[in-house]
């Protein structure tokens, strides 16, 4: 049975007349490759703790290579002389404060005859190492977001690409130029051997040719993000893309060939020394080997994402994947793994679970599939996939030309293997559905009970935890439940919900709105907390405003109506509550110990107290603050850092007042205010000052002049704020998340992609370390606000991997607003 709309596996050339309007598309050739050249496993290297994201062949020692990982390390591997033909870790490279995403070898020079190792990371930095040292020789700073690609050229030049949409050219420890022209993340860069030409590929679907800092040409043809580039010669190069295609280009601009074989995103390319044959890896779990324009071998891996690859000097291939394992494959029989290790690798592959919704296997109807006898017929190309049914199980096999047999590559979960009825009893309880899930070949089936009133994501999460399965399968299991219960109405659930921002006062639809406020200030613990200072936007009946708690809110109603009450959030979220008497008492206490030049007289203290009273309710009819009182506040804000925090609390309240906002945030004084607050936000500063400075910046968004000031200073403010993600303080994280959210709100209707990219980058960086659920929630709202109704921003977020980064929050049950908001963001990014 043919289950694919187009053949999988190897491809071949077709005549020019067949594709007269464009480059030749390579289609499948029915033939066998000589098995003597087939690659087989040499060894598996389980050295990293998380995804292996980059690989590069080293100049020295012979046969060595470097790997980098999300575990924040790089590692140098050298071949050992043991019978298993494996590799030994020479040493580990450290220096990045967040995950490492790319690596390259800088060309040897007289100073460094063995070359240097350059690594790029999510901390926006490039670390440069000598081959024999574990700490950086120096660090290159300048990018404003993740450095995701590196390439080296002659004379020690280094080219970097970043999520900040730019590429940078470095020489030694200096940035020589910044290449600006892409409108989305730069995922791939290469330097051509001659002519001083450079190439960059981007999530904006284009490739650009650069010379002397100028864009000389733009190549268009890919239909999705360009993920990899590889040089063939001075005049030709390859590109690969999320659109599942590989393209061969002439530097002059013509696309001369298009290669199809992958069935999902293609992440990396590497060219063999003959400059014609190449390899590719991608999200379809495969390494594919291309010779003379044909995909001659497909090697499947027991990992979903095969992120990177490199060709070693002896022709062996190293690949890195999402399971944290590096695998080396060889065509030379003497270097191949033992029969026992080869069988163990095949067994591991056969036990993987395959989701048919990835598009790799086509639509599956179990009743139409052939039985095991179908495997008696040989395949007609390497990598050909065949599905068979074994009872109620669906198994996937792949044809191996070199072994002349079908190899099992996993069990398919998602066919018609579920048992349903209106009442299915399982372990003494009744369920709407009881699904049968097969994970391990030969092992017992697992039962997944499910009621229509339940959250499929939470059910999937609990199933994985109960059966000790990898959380990597969360999306697959949840989507399987959703797909197989389509068309069924979810029954009513008990009303529940509260203010999604404070979590206070569980609210029942239809209840009176004159009940007590929605909980206390989550930061001070006192008084009613209303995060939004602007007018409350109207909300659909039965749904609360997530920032004020106004109106009835029910999580059950939310799931049924799919109403988005969370984003876009365009009015500023501010920090309102304070205890004025306690603030003044603290100021008077500290004033007594203040240096003589900073000490305030009783008269000045009374003036400061009048200011505090007048700004505590900025829209009241009380007398507005005078210019003398505002100047006094500005003077007091320069108290020594160890005692200034109560003055900052007054500043935080004061900037909400229209007159103070205009005076302190206007053209003449605004930059001074901004610089002073940023100086208090140094990572080595005092946490109380950091938190109150962040809150003050958030409250500046409450006025026209404050918004204009912060938008003008956005790049500097967000960069400094992002440095506080590493501070272990939940109140700082909440304030930081609120600042990002307010920027996202101001940018929502603006076509400023660079600014939105910075918001996405800072939010993504914060989510790497932030644990507090309230901060996570506000960051999710910021992401949703940034991408809502903006296709380009959505493409950028997808290219940054936001989907996979936030998917874990869809299973958070307390507070429920986190999961609900997360699912809405994921829906925007589908």
Q: Transcribe 644-663 into DSSP letters.
A: -HHHHHHHHHHTTSHHHHHH
Vertex 642, ends 639 and 643: CA angle to 5°?
Answer: 50
**SS3 for 617-631, per residue?**
CCCCCCCCCCHHHHH
Strands (E) across 254-404 are located at 255-260, 266-271, 278-282, 286-291, 294-300, 306-311, 317-321, 326-330, 353-354, 385-390, 393-400
Which distant-in-sequence residues (6+ apart) come within 8 Å of 28 by Cβ? 7, 9, 10, 11, 12, 381
Mean pLDDT per segment of 10 residues, for the chain of length 830 residues? 28 29 50 59 94 94 94 95 88 94 92 94 96 94 95 87 93 84 95 83 95 86 96 95 95 95 93 93 94 92 93 96 95 94 92 64 65 85 82 83 84 52 59 70 64 73 73 72 62 34 29 30 31 32 43 36 81 90 92 88 93 80 87 94 94 94 90 95 93 96 95 93 90 96 94 84 87 95 94 72 85 92 93
* H/E stretch holding 565: none
State the residue for tokens 């003497």: 334
Q: Is the peptide bond before 450 cis (omega within 30 degrees of 0)?
A: no
Cβ count within 10 A of residue 361? 23
Give the DSSP per-residue string, 93-106.
Answer: E---SS-EEEEEEE
Q: Is the peptide bond before 707 cis (omega within 30 degrees of 0)?
A: no
Asked whether the beta carbons of 173 and 126 are under 8 A apart, the reply is no
Residue 393's pLDDT is: 81
Exposure letters 676-689 (e unless 16+ CB within 10 A, then b): bbbebbeeeeeebb
β partners of residue 207:
201, 219
Q: Is the dihedral of CA 273, 224, 819, 439 positive or negative?
A: negative
**Measured distance CA(652)–CA(583) in Å, rounded:** 12
Give Cα separations from 323 to 197, 288, 540 (angstroms).
Answer: 36, 19, 44
State the residue for tokens 């063999």: 272
Q: Where are the alpha helices (DSSP H) in 75-211?
A: none
Chain center to CA of 89 = 29
First-to-last alpha carbon distance for the chain, in angstroms, is 31
Give Cα separations from 575 to 611, 653, 659, 732 (angstroms).
Answer: 18, 8, 18, 13
Chain center to CA of 364 = 31
Give the DSSP per-residue string, 401-426.
Answer: TTTTEEEEEEEE-SSS-EEEEEEEEE
Query: DSSP label at 244?
Result: S
Residue 366's pLDDT is: 66
β-pairing, 25-26 vs 255-260, is parallel
β-pairing, 306-311 vs 317-321, is antiparallel
**Measured distance CA(667)–CA(660) in Å, rounded:** 13
Q: Is the dihedral of CA 785, 786, 787, 789 positive or negative?
A: positive
Strands (E) across 184-292 are located at 186-191, 197-202, 207-211, 214-219, 226-231, 236-241, 245-250, 255-260, 266-271, 278-282, 286-291
Is 118 exposed, middle or buried, given 0-12, 13-18 or 19+ CB atoms closer than 10 A?
buried
Which distant-in-sequence residues (6+ apart) come within 8 Å of 11 by Cβ? 26, 27, 28, 29, 259, 260, 261, 293, 294, 295
Asked whether the beta carbons of 210 and 216 are under 8 A apart, the reply is yes
Asked whether the beta carbons of 390 and 371 are under 8 A apart, the reply is yes
Which distant-in-sequence residues (6+ apart) come within 8 Å of 301 by Cβ? 285, 286, 287, 319, 321, 327, 349
**Measured distance CA(628)–CA(289) in Å, rounded:** 75
Pick the closest to residue 771 from 802, 741, 736 (CA basis).
736
Residue 16's pLDDT is: 27
In this prediction the pTM is: 0.51
């Amino acid at each position: 049975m043919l289950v694919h709309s187009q053949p999988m596996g190897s491809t071949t050339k077709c005549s020019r007349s067949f594709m007269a309007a464009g480059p030749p598309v390579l289609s499948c050739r029915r033939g066998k490759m000589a098995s003597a050249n087939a690659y087989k496993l040499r060894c598996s290297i389980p050295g990293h703790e998380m995804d292996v994201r980059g690989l590069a062949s080293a100049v020295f020692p012979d046969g060595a290579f470097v790997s980098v990982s999300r575990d924040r390390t790089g590692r140098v591997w050298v071949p050992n002389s043991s019978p298993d033909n494996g590799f030994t870790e020479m040493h580990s490279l450290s220096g990045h404060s967040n995950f490492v995403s790319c690596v390259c070898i800088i060309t040897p020079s007289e100073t460094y005859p063995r070359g240097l190792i350059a690594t790029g990371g999510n901390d926006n930095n490039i670390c440069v190492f000598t081959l024999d040292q574990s700490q950086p020789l120096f660090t290159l700073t300048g990018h404003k977001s993740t450095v995701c690609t590196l390439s080296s050229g002659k004379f020690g030049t280094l080219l970097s690409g970043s999520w900040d949409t730019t590429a940078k050219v470095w020489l030694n420890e200096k940035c020589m130029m910044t290449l600006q022209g892409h409108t989305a993340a730069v995922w791939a860069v290469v330097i051509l051997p001659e002519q001083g030409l450079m190439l960059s590929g981007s999530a904006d679907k284009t490739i650009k040719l650069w010379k002397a800092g100028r864009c000389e040409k733009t190549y268009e043809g890919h239909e999705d993000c360009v993920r990899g580039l590889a040089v063939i010669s001075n005049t030709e190069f390859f590109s690969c893309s999320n659109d599942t295609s590989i393209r061969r280009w002439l530097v002059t601009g013509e696309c001369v060939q298009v290669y199809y074989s992958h069935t999902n995103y293609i992440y990396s390319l590497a060219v063999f020394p003959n400059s014609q044959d190449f390899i590719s890896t991608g999200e379809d779990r495969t390494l594919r080997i291309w010779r003379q324009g044909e995909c001659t071998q497909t090697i499947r891996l027991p990992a979903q994402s095969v992120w990177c690859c490199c060709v070693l000097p002896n022709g062996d291939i190293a690949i890195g994947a999402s399971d944290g394992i590096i695998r080396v494959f060889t065509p030379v029989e003497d270097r191949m793994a033992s029969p026992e290790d080869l069988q163990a690798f095949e067994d591991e592959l056969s036990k993987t679970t395959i989701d048919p919704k990835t598009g790799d296997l086509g639509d599956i109807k179990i009743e139409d599939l052939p039985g095991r006898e179908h495997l008696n017929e040989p395949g007609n190309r390497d990598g050909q996939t065949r599905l068979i049914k074994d009872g109620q199980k669906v198994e996937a096999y792949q044809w191996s030309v070199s072994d002349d047999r079908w190899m099992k590559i996993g069990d398919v979960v998602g066919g018609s293997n579920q048992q349903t009825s209106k009442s299915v009893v399982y372990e003494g309880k009744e369920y709407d559905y009881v699904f049968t899930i097969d994970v391990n070949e030969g092992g017992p089936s697992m039962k997944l009970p499910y009621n229509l009133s339940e959250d499929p994501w939470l059910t999937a999460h609990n199933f994985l935890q109960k059966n000790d399965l990898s959380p990597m399968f969360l999306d697959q299991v949840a989507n399987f439940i959703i797909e197989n219960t389509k068309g069924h109405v979810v029954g009513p659930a008990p009303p529940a919900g509260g203010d999604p921002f404070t979590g206070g006062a569980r609210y029942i639809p239809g209840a009176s709105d004159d009940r007590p406020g929605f909980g206390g200030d989550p930061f001070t613990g006192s008084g009613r907390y209303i995060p939004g200072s602007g007018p409350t936007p109207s909300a659909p009946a039965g749904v609360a405003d997530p920032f004020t708690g106004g109106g009835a809110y029910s999580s059950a109603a939310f799931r049924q109506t799919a109403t988005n009450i969370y984003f876009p959030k365009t009015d500023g979220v501010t920090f309102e509550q304070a205890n004025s008497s306690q603030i003044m008492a603290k100021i008077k206490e500290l004033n007594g110990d203040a240096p003589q030049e900073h000490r305030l007289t009783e008269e000045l203290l009374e003036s400061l107290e009048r200011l505090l009273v007048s700004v505590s309710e900025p829209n009241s009819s009380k007398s507005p603050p005078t210019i003398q009182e505002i100047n006094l506040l500005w003077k007091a804000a320069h108290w020594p850092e160890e005692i200034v925090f109560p003055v900052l609390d007054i500043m935080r309240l004061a900037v909400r007042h229209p007159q103070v906002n205009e005076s302190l945030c206007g053209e003449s004084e605004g930059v001074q205010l901004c610089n002073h607050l940023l100086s208090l936000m140094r990572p080595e500063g005092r946490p109380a000052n950091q938190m109150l400075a962040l809150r003050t910046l958030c409250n500046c968004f409450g006025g026209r002049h404050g918004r204009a000031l912060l938008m003008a200073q956005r790049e500097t403010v967000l960069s400094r704020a992002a440095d506080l993600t590493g501070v272990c303080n939940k109140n700082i994280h909440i304030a930081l998340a609120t600042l990002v959210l307010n920027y996202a709100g101001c940018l929502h209707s603006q076509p400023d992609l660079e600014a939105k990219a910075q918001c996405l980058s800072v939010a993504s960086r914060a989510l790497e370390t932030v644990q507090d659920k309230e901060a996570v929630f506000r960051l999710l709202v910021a992401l949703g606000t940034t991408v809502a109704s903006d296709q380009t921003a959505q493409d950028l977020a997808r290219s940054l991997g936001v989907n996979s980064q936030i998917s874990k929050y869809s299973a958070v049950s307390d507070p429920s607003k986190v999961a609900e908001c997360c699912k809405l963001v994921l829906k925007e990014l589908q």
